[in-house]
Structure 1
Amino acid sequence: MSAAAGRAYPEFPGAVGISELTAYPWPTADDEHGGSPHMHLTCTEAYVVVGGRGRLQTLSHSGPTVQSLEPGDVVWFTPGTIHRAINDGDLRVLVIMQNSGLPEAGDAVMTFPPAHLTAEGYGSAASVLDTDGEPSAERARARRDLAIEGFTDLLRQWERGNHAALDDFHRQAAALVSPRLAEWQRLIEDGAAATAAAALDNVRALRDGRVAHLRDASVQRIPSPPHTTLGMCGFLHAYDPVRRLGPDA
C-alpha cells in the first residue's frame, strides 16, 4: 500500500504496529512498579527488551506465569493473555503488535473490577483525560490501580479454583468491543490480509517470470515520534499513527 491509498507511509513489514515503551515507574498497591494489566482479543503482541529489567506477569487458561525481561529477550503472547509489565528498573521495550493499528482501535480491555466492565462505565474508567480534556499522569495511575485491583481478584479466584471468573472477564471484554468488530475487520482486510495477498501475488509473478513489481522498490524512514503518550503499560512513542497519518500525528 502507498500514500496514494490514504496513508502517509506504506505498511510496516507484515502490517505490524511498532511502539517504544518505557514502563511506568510508579509504585503499585502490591509493592511492584509498572503498568495496567490488560488483554487483547484479536492481536498477538511481542516485547523485544532493549533496556533495563522487569517481568511480564500473565494470566490465561494455562494458569498464571511470570516471565523475566532482560535486554535482548523476546517474549510474545497471543489473544486472551492478560498481561502486566512490571518495571524492576528502567524497563524499556520495543512493542511489536499484530494487525497494525488495531489496538489503537480498541483491541485492548483492562482488567477493571466487573462493575466497571460495562458499556456505561468502562470509557470513563479507562480515560486518561482530566477535567480540561488533557492527558493526565494522575488519571493514568488511577486507571492502572483500578486494573490491578481487578487483576489481583482474578488471580485470587484462579488460585481458589474458580476459573469461571476468567471466563466471565472474557465475556465482558467481548461485549465491550463488539461495536468495533466491523471496523476491526476492515483494518485487518486493508492491512495484514492485503499485505499477505500482495506477497502471494509477488510469488505468482516470479513463478511466471514476471518482475515488474521489483520496479516499485522504495525505502521509507520514520524518525522517533515527537510525542509521548500515556499507554496502558508505560510512556509510549507510537510509530503506527505517524505511519498512517503523517509526521504531525
Structure 2
Amino acid sequence: MTAAHPDFPGAVGLSQLQVYPWATADDEHGGSPHMHLTCSECYVVVSGRGRLETLNQEGHRVSDLRPGDVVWFGPGTIHRAINDGDLRVVVVMQNSGLPEAGDAVMTFPPEHLTPERYPLAASVVDSAGAPSQERARERRDLALGGFAELTRQWRCGDRSGYEDFCRAAARLVQPRLETWAGTVHDGALAAAQTSLRQIDALKSDDVSHLFEAVVTRIEQPSQQMLGMCGFLRAYDPVRRAGGSPAHG
C-alpha cells in the first residue's frame, strides 16, 4: 500500500505516550517491561515525571525522566516506564516504527514465551473482541512478574535468565523477520540512499530535488490505543493511511 504521506525524517516512527497510572505489585505505577530486537527507541519527555527501568548487558539501572530529558536505548534493552506523576513522552522509533509493528516481546515467564502461548498472553482483546484495559493490566502484571525474576537473577550474578529471554524472544519473532527486512529496505535504507543521491547531485551542481519539496501536516491522532507502556496515539498508521489509526 502506498503511504498517504511521505516518511518522517530518516524513516523514524513517532507516537505520543501517556504512561499508565496503574499501580503495580512492587508499589510503582506504569506499563509492561519489554524488549525490541532490531530497533533503537528514544523517549523525549514532554511533561510529568517518572523513571525508565532497564536491563541489558550493562546491567540493571534506573534513569530519571523529567520534562526536557531525552533517553534512548538500543535493541536488547528490556525497559519499563514508571509513572511518578502524569508522565507523558514522545517516542521516536527506528525503522518506520517497527517497535509498534511487531518488534517487541514482553518479559512473560518462560512458559509463556512459546508461539502457542505468547499471543494469548500478549493480547489486549477481551471475549467480546474489543480492546480492554483489564486485559492490558493482566498482561502488564504477567510481564512484571517475569521481569522481577530476571532482575533478581542479575543482582545475584546470574545473567542466564536474561540471555535465555533474548533467545526465546528471537525465536518468537522469526516468522516476522522477512517482513521487517522489507520495512527497513523500503524505509530507513531508502531514505539513506536518497540522501546520498542528493549529495551526489549537489556535487554536480544539480539542485532539482530542491524543487520537489513538500510540507506535510498530521493532526494529533484522535484514536487512543492500549500500548505496552501506556496509552498511545500513533502517527505512523495515520501517515500511511491518511486517516485514523486502527487498534493493533
TM-score per shorter chain, which class? over 0.9
Letter in 1 for 2:151: L
Task: Choose which of 91, 94, 97 in structure 2 pairs with 1:98.
Answer: 94
Structure 1 CA distance for aligned equivalents of residues 123 and 242 of structure 2:
25
Query: 3-state SS of the aligned residue for 1:191?
Result: helix
Partner of 1:49: 45
Q: In structure 1, how many angstroms separate the alpha carbons of the residues matched to 2:172 and 2:224?
A: 27
CA distance in 2, matches of 1:77, 1:61: 12
Distance 1:33 1:190 in 2: 38
- Which residue pairs with 2:204 in the alignment? 208
Whether 1:147 aligns to 2:113 is no
Greater Cα shift, 149-158 or 103-112: 103-112
Q: Which residue number in structure 1 is paired with residue 187 of structure 2?
A: 191
Out of 15, 28, 49, the position equivalent to 2:24 is 28
Residue 81 (structure 2) aligns with: 85
1:180 to 151, 155, 176: 176
Corresponding residue SS for 1:71: coil
Corresponding residue number in structure 2 for 1:18? 14
Quote the offset at 1:105 in angstroms: 2.7
Q: Which of 39, 57, 65 pairs up with 1:69?
A: 65
Give the alignment's Cα RMSD to 1 decimal.
0.8
| Structure 1 unpaired stretches of 5+ | none
Matched, 1:242 2:209: no
- Structure 1 CA distance for aligned equivalents of residues 244 and 63 of structure 2: 36
Per-residue CA distance 1:172-226 (angstroms, 9 max, x = gap): 0000001000000000000000000000000000001111111101000000001
1:119 pairs with 2:115: yes
Q: Secondary structure at the match of 2:26?
A: coil
Q: Which amino acid aligns with 1:221?
A: R
Partner of 1:137: 133
Distance 1:114 1:14 in 2: 36
**C-alpha separation between the residues in 2 aligned to 1:68 and 1:75?**
9
Q: How many residues align?
A: 245
Amino acid at match of 1:17: G
Q: Is the 8 A contact 1:101 1:241 kept in 2?
A: no
One-letter identity of the residue aligned with 1:70: R
In 2, distance between residues paired with 1:119 and 1:101? 23
| Percent sequence identity over aligned pairs | 64
Task: Provide the rounded CA distance (Å) in 1 between the counterparts of 2:68 and 2:102.
Answer: 29
| Cα distance in 2 between the residues matched to 1:90 and 1:103 | 23
- What amino acid is the match of 1:215? F
Q: How big is the shift at 1:234?
A: 0.2
The alpha-carbon deviation at position 101 of structure 1 amounts to 3.0
AA aligned opposite 1:246 = G
Verify the 8 A CA contact 1:48 1:72 in the aligned structure 2: yes
Alpha-carbon displacement from aligned partner over 1:12-67 (angstroms, at most 9, x marks no partner): 00100000000000000000000000000000000000000000000001100000
Matched residues in 2 for 1:190 and 1:179: separation? Answer: 19
C-alpha distance in structure 1 between counterparts of 2:144 and 2:52, whole Å: 14
Q: Separation in 1 of the partners of 2:52 and 2:206?
A: 47
- Which stretches in structure 2 are left out of the alignment for 5+ residues? none
Note if contact 2:223-2:244 (Cα within 8 Å) is conserved in structure 1. no
